[in-house]
Amino acid sequence: MVLDLFLIGLAIALYPLPGMALVLVLSSPRGVYKGLAFITAWLACLVAVIALVLLCTGGEPPAPRSPPSLASLAATLVIGLSLVVYSEHRRRRSRRVTAASDDGEGTAGSGRSPASRMDQATGWSAAGLAVLLQPWGMVSAAAATVVKADASHAQSFLALLGFCVLATSTLLAMELYTVFAPEDAQRDLTRLRAWLSRHKDQAIVLLCLLLGLWLVGRSLYQLTG
């Protein structure tokens, strides 16, 4: 369980879309306050999912090869396959967009830019954005893994705490950087967002593919072992 939660938490931490959104949030008026609302809502989602799973299991892992255990493995397998399929879908869409851009078929966007829209956002809006941008496929994989947690052992609580911290680590780092070095953070995070904007599709494809293959392999091994 610990290794699975570590890999899922790492994939969530490296997922580019929430980080790109948080840069816009932090760049807006009262950005630190809105960023705190964003991170709080993000973390609350993770905690709520874990708490719900523990509530359903009673804090006791199901017996090996029992129906609940097999159902958890089957869910992990489905989630892993879904991540692999989404990775391929994203890769093909990225190639189509690139080809259209090379052919001069792209059209200019209209309306206000994301930055200008974020200027008008509130803390509640930032919190809602965090919920929407949560990589729910990966969070679902974490939920299927948390089924194995044993609430009677401190190791399980440490693993769950570590997962939440790891999955939120990049967002926390951005927030703290902005608090303690606002001018440097504004410059560096803007550059980071520009880089992520150019490479987000490749990052999403790679993260979803690798995590999906891991989940598929682990679940198949345990189902057939």
∠44-47-52 over CA atoms, to 5°?
120
* Helices 154-180, 16-27: crossing angle, 10 deg rounding: 40
Q: How confident is the model at residue 112 (pLDDT cuts 50, 70, 90)?
A: low
Q: How confident is the model at residue 110 (pLDDT cuts 50, 70, 90)?
A: very low
Check residue 113 and give its pLDDT: 60
Check residue 107 and give its pLDDT: 42
Averaged pLDDT of the chain: 88
E strand or H helix at 64, and its extent?
none
Check residue 15 and give its pLDDT: 95
The pTM of the full predicted model, rounded to 2 decimals, is 0.89
Q: Is the pLDDT of residue 108 over 50?
A: no
Q: How confident is the model at residue 223 (pLDDT cuts 50, 70, 90)?
A: confident
Cβ-proximal residues to 155 (8 Å cutoff; 6+ apart), any chain: 2
Instruction: Identify the residue with better confidence: 77 or 63.
Output: 77
Please list the helix, strand and coil fractions of the chain in percent, rounded to the nearest 5, in that order: 85, 0, 15
∠204-208-209 over CA atoms, to 5°?
115
Return the top range by mean pLDDT from 23-27, 31-35, 40-44.
Answer: 40-44
